[in-house]
Amino acid sequence: MEEIYLDNAATTKPLGEAVDAMLPYMKDLYGNPSSVYSLARRSKRALDEARDACAKEIHANSSEVYFTSGGSESDNWALTSAFCAYKDRGNRIITTAIEHPAILNTCRILEKEGAEIVYLPVDSLGRVDPEDAEKAMTDKTILVSVMTANNEVGTIEPIREIGAIAHRHGAIFHTDAVQAYGHIPIDVEKDNIDLLSASGHKFHGPKGCGIFYIKNGVRIGSFVHGGAQERGRRAGTENVASIVGMGAAASFMSKHREDFAGKEAGLRDYAMERLENEIDGVAILGDRRMRLPQNIDILIDGVEGESLLIMLDQRGICASSGSACSSGSLDPSHVLLAMGIPEEKAYGALRLTMSFMTTKKEIDLAIDAIRECVVQLRA
């Protein structure tokens, strides 16, 4: 059975172009980029090219892009190092209630170290109100961190406005762009971004490889200490092959992003309409307009999301629910709870996330399957 893969928010299929670009660096071109001979210089040159490609996608300078082990490390780096670097100015960090655990759990640690964290609320569509950010600013605020787009409900946040507010109050602005990078346009200059996190495997590159953007002039220290790699800001021998693959994916997505987004948004709207019309008790989650093109997220009345996922899996459909498994007990999604969805309803979430590889036929098959499974589950 061919799988229908609709869980691209969890990870994406690596591009053939990315894998092909990686292979030589996993085999014969294994030189350490910090060494001096020509084998090493091949690796160094490959890193430079990947850095250019990754920077270009967000209109950054190559000198502002650092390679990490993924989105989680970049998020940890942003919060932890900003807290350290700006201790003399204050201890207040403003973020949102709907961030990824890489942000939220780092905040919990920093709270123990004396940080004062403000979790901005969201409305019923998952949108942060810039007014709330404005009201939360004090002269002790050192950092504002708001995700570019949410990984569960797909809502795109007004980061440009919030970044401007942060700057007006002398704070730096970080955004977790892991779901957005390579999928929607980002311009670090226009969007008022000082620090940004992205992850290779969320835009058809390899896993375990990420991007951290630090705007030139922003004072922030290293997070992984050791050697002088990444201009002394991130130690550890570079993951050359993965970085090369991520660079290939970044340049591919830069070239095709607009076309892909247009196609995905069309499929997304078609799917949401079919789901609403053909299944009773379906509500669309998240903002319909300010929404990632690849994201479909719904709440189905009287259906337990986890049971539906198991049935869909038996039919070869890979999807996800809004809830995260934690230590054997199923917790309802903190994102849906923050949007004011009652706990008992939040278990009925179903997230379908597409890629440019997704076809209308796959969407039709998936929706037919969902409709049939919902009937069975309700019987």
Applying CB under 6 A, among 81, 95, 179, 320 the residue interacting with ligand PLP is 179
- Angle (CA) 201-206-211 rounded to 5° is 65
CA dihedral in degrees (92, 158, 265, 9; nearest 10)? 0
Give Cα 303 distance to the centre of its chain.
Answer: 27
Residue nearest to ligand PLP (CB): 71
> Residue 291: how many CA atoms within 13 Å on its side-chain side?
25
Site string for ligand PLP, 130-169 (x = CB under 6 A): -----------------x---x------------------
Applying CB under 6 A, among 72, 96, 251, 333 the residue interacting with ligand PLP is 72
73-132 residues in contact with ligand PLP (CB under 6 A) are: 75, 100, 102
- What residues form DSSP beta bridges with 93? 117, 143
- Find the part of the chain contacting ligand PLP (CB under 6 A) among 89-97, 172-180, 249-257, 362-370: 172-180
- Find the part of the chain contacting ligand PLP (CB under 6 A) among 156-164, 174-182, 274-282, 291-299: 174-182
Assign residue 162 a region (left: φ > 0; alpha: ψ between -120 and 50; beta: otherwise).
alpha
Neighbour tally for 19: CB within 10 Å:
16
Applying CB under 6 A, among 31, 70, 205, 348 the residue interacting with ligand PLP is 70
Rounded-to-integer distance, Cα 45 and Cα 264, Å: 35
Amino acid symbol at 233: R
Residue among 120 and 367 whose Cβ is closer to ligand PLP: 120
- Output the smallest distance, CB 71 to ligand PLP, in A: 2
Task: Please report where in the chains the tokens 């973020």 appear, as a residue.
Answer: 95
- Give the residue from 103, 142, 102, 139 showing the smallest Cα distance to 119: 103
Residue among 7 and 64 whose Cβ is closer to ligand PLP: 7
- Find the part of the chain contacting ligand PLP (CB under 6 A) among 175-183, 238-246, 320-328, 340-348: 175-183
Q: Binders of ligand PLP: how many residues, by CB under 6 A?
A: 14
Binding residues for ligand PLP (CB under 6 A): 70-72, 75, 100, 102, 147, 151, 176, 178-179, 199, 202, 210
